[in-house]
């Protein structure tokens, strides 16, 4: 087993869905197979406009032949393991490469940087993870006590094999619901500028807490992934109505109101004047139609 890097871009020609599967050709089979039961980090190339750099982690559960394409394989992602970074990590942070294993003996970028699937050292994996999850300016929850910043044990890792075990223990924290909810909230709130997508309000209370929550469109208990396209920033009342199916969203992001609402005028007064969900700051972060459809079919009270 080994940590790995999977290169992925939003406009990929491959049949990729980062939270569920990653498609690759046969030449990468051996490298991809080495990551089974271990963690990988997703990387978007710098040549992609608005590149997110290293932007998420996931755990590979198995490698299978792609039944739809000859000489192609699928790395299947363990359900519930995919998690995006609140802070995308650049390929080069201005000081040098974050993934130092890509440097050759002369200190130059080697051809390994072009490999769509490649191993990564525990030290480099740790560096990317720490930067991606750093809480320099934590977004406080709207209610409850303030939790301390997560202690990831930042620091240089010892040499392998202990490095692998220490890093696996650290990354295993990513599977706990408490940690994932905190990270997901940061990802969603920053994507939406801490603004409620229904009301359009951006309210910060006297305690520095954002009066908005990160809602899963398809809930976690119904296999909804912690991916930005399955999230939306909602204020308390809007969140309550959405969870109970009193409001929903069309694929074009129109806000739709259930006929079972007993105070339609009141609900309409809460909705921003466009009548549409105010999308995230970056277009590719908008809710995915598949998740919106799931909510309309399973939660929304028509």
Is this prediction's pTM over 0.95?
A: no
What pLDDT, on the 0 to 100 scale, is given for residue 232? 97
Low-confidence ranges of the chain (pLDDT < 50): 145-146, 148, 151-160
- d(Cα 234, Cα 192) in Å, to the nearest integer? 10
The three-state secondary structure class of 111 is: helix
Domain extents for the chain? 4-157, 186-298
Label residues 133-161 b or e (16+ Cβ within 10 Å = b): bbeeebbbebeeeeeeeeeeeeeebeeee
What pLDDT, on the 0 to 100 scale, is given for residue 51? 85
- d(Cα 230, Cα 153) in Å, to the nearest integer? 30
Using DSSP bridges, classify how beta strands 231-234 and 213-216 pair: parallel, antiparallel or unpaired: antiparallel
Residue written as token pair 């998740």: 291
Label residues 58-91 b or e (16+ Cβ within 10 Å = b): bbbeebeebeeeeebbbbebeebbbbbbbbbbeb
What pLDDT, on the 0 to 100 scale, is given for residue 300? 96
4-157 belongs to which homologous superfamily? Answer: ph1033 like domains (3.10.590.10)
Torsion of CA 20, 23, 26, 31, to 10 degrees: -50
Residue written as token pair 């993934």: 99
- d(Cα 263, Cα 17) in Å, to the nearest integer? 40
- d(Cα 61, Cα 76) in Å, to the nearest integer? 6
Structure confidence by residue, pLDDT tens digits, 260-271: 999 999 999 999
Structure confidence by residue, pLDDT tens digits, 124-138: 999 999 899 987 655
- d(Cα 45, Cα 6) in Å, to the nearest integer? 11
């Amino acid at each position: 087993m080994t940590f790995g890097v999977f290169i992925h871009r939003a406009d990929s020609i491959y049949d990729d869905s980062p939270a569920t599967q990653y498609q690759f050709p046969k030449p990468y089979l051996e490298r991809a197979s080495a990551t089974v039961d271990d963690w990988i980090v997703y990387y978007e190339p710098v040549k992609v406009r608005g590149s997110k750099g290293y932007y998420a982690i996931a755990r590979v559960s198995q490698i299978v032949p792609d039944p739809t394409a000859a000489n192609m394989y699928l790395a299947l992602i363990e359900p519930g393991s995919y998690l995006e970074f609140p802070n995308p990590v650049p390929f080069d942070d201005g000081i040098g490469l974050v993934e130092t294993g890509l440097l050759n003996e002369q200190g130059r970028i080697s051809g390994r940087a072009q490999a769509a699937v490649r191993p990564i050292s525990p030290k480099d994996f740790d560096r990317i993870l720490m930067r991606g999850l750093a809480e320099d300016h934590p977004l406080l929850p709207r209610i409850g006590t303030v939790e301390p910043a997560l202690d990831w044990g930042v620091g240089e890792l010892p040499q392998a094999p202990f490095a692998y075990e220490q890093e696996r223990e650290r990354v295993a924290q990513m599977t706990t619901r408490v940690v994932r909810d905190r990270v997901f909230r940061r990802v969603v709130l920053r994507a939406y500028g801490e603004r409620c997508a229904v009301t359009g309000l951006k309210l910060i209370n006297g305690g520095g807490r954002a009066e908005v929550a990160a809602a899963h469109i398809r809930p976690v208990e119904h296999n909804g992934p912690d991916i930005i396209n399955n999230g939306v920033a909602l204020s308390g009342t809007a969140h309550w109505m959405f969870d109970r199916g009193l409001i929903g969203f069309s694929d074009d992001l129109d806000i739709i109101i259930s006929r079972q609402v007993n105070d339609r005028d009141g609900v309409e007064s809460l909705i921003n004047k466009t009548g549409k969900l105010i999308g995230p700051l970056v277009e590719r972060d908008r809710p995915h139609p598949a998740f919106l459809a799931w909510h309309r079919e399973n939660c929304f009270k028509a």
